[in-house]
Amino acid sequence: MSDAPDLKVFAIFADLSEDERELVADMLTRMELDPGDQLFAEGAESEGLVLVERGSVALNSGRAGALGLLMAGDSIGAASLVAVGTREATAIASEPACVLILSRESYRRLAEDAPRAACRMLEVALADLASAVREGLDRYTTET
């Protein structure tokens, strides 16, 4: 990938070596978004990890309403690297934005070529998921 992104700013790549980050960078697809452009729709198949390199992307759900804003350095969809499922929200650029996408297919290739890197990324994704579950349980027990 020309004009390689600085992947060190993304937590999911924090434990990777510079060589491993370069390998991942070569597998990314860059997408430029104008304000109002839809990145993905709620209910659509989730096909990979989305990294916000620049700008911001608003998340909205038909069930829960506004969910927040993804800013530069944020990511979403890590679980979709290994699990088939649908998006739980719609993502729309709230300002000019650039996102990087690591597809499930590219992640599988990474797992074959650099298993240590793929494992480290999965560890971070699972830790984030566990944290979100704990927060949800804490809110549930506080509300009841």
- Asked whether residue 105 is domain-assigned, the answer is yes
- Asked whether residue 128 is domain-assigned, the answer is yes
Higher-confidence position of 84 and 116: 116
Residue bearing tokens 């998921």: 129
118 is in which domain, residue-wise? 7-143
- Asked whether residue 42 is domain-assigned, the answer is yes
Domains in the chain, number:
1
For the stretch 39-59, pLDDT in tens is 999 999 998 999 999 999 999
Which whole number is the average pLDDT over 102-113?
96
User: What is the full DSSP assignment across 74-143?
Assistant: -EE-GGGGTS--B-SSEEEESSSEEEEEEEHHHHHHHHHH-HHHHHHHHHHHHHHHHHHHHHHHHHHHHH
In this predicted structure, the answer to whether residue 3 has a pLDDT above a threshold of 70 is no
